[in-house]
């Protein structure tokens, strides 16, 4: 089974969700264990959302490689939102929202003018 068939069957998305839940369990377990107590920067929710966003962005890249570009755009936007939410616990992400809005506008314009008939 190649990558395109793997994603068309829905298995790729299922694996992605499984990885997200594993990531959440790891972050939660690290918080419970006291391992993170020595890290002043640690914020479990921020770490979780940042990792969640990165996983979703990787999934969007996999959708492009599997020739499912319609799913890739939505996944990328959702992943970017999650990363910005997660990083908001660590740094000032005010400018990231402006970049995000510009990215959406560019994607819309590519969708309108980029397709040849």
Q: Domain tally for the chain?
A: 1
Contact in structure between 23 and 49 (CB atoms under 8 Å): no
Burial of 113 from C-beta contacts in 10 A (0-12 / 13-18 / 19+): exposed
| Overall pTM surpassing 0.75 (yes/no) | yes
Residue identified by tokens 């506008």 is 105
- Residue 70 structural domain: 3-113
- pLDDT, tens digit, 9 for 90 and up, residues 21-35: 999 999 999 999 988
- pLDDT, tens digit, 9 for 90 and up, residues 36-94: 888 888 888 999 999 999 999 999 998 888 888 777 888 888 898 899 888 887 777 77
Burial of 25 from C-beta contacts in 10 A (0-12 / 13-18 / 19+): exposed
**Amino acid 3: pLDDT:** 82
5's tokens: 């068939």
Contact in structure between 45 and 100 (CB atoms under 8 Å): no
116 — pLDDT class (breaks 50, 70, 90): low
In the three-class reduction of DSSP (H, G, I as helix; E, B as strand; rest coil), residue 38 is classed as: helix
**Amino acid 19: pLDDT:** 96
Dist. CA 2–CA 43, nearest whole Å: 39
């Amino acid at each position: 089974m190649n990558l395109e068939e793997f994603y068309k069957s829905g298995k790729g998305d299922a694996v992605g969700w499984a990885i997200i839940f594993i990531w959440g369990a790891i972050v939660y377990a690290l918080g419970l264990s006291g391992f993170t107590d020595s890290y002043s920067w640690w914020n479990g929710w921020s770490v979780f959302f940042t990792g969640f966003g990165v996983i979703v962005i990787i999934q969007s890249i996999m959708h492009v490689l599997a020739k499912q570009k319609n799913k890739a755009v939505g996944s990328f936007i959702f992943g970017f939102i999650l990363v910005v939410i997660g990083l908001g616990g660590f740094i000032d992400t005010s400018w990231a929202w402006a970049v995000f809005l510009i990215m959406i506008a560019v994607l819309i314009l590519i969708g309108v003018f980029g397709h040849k008939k």
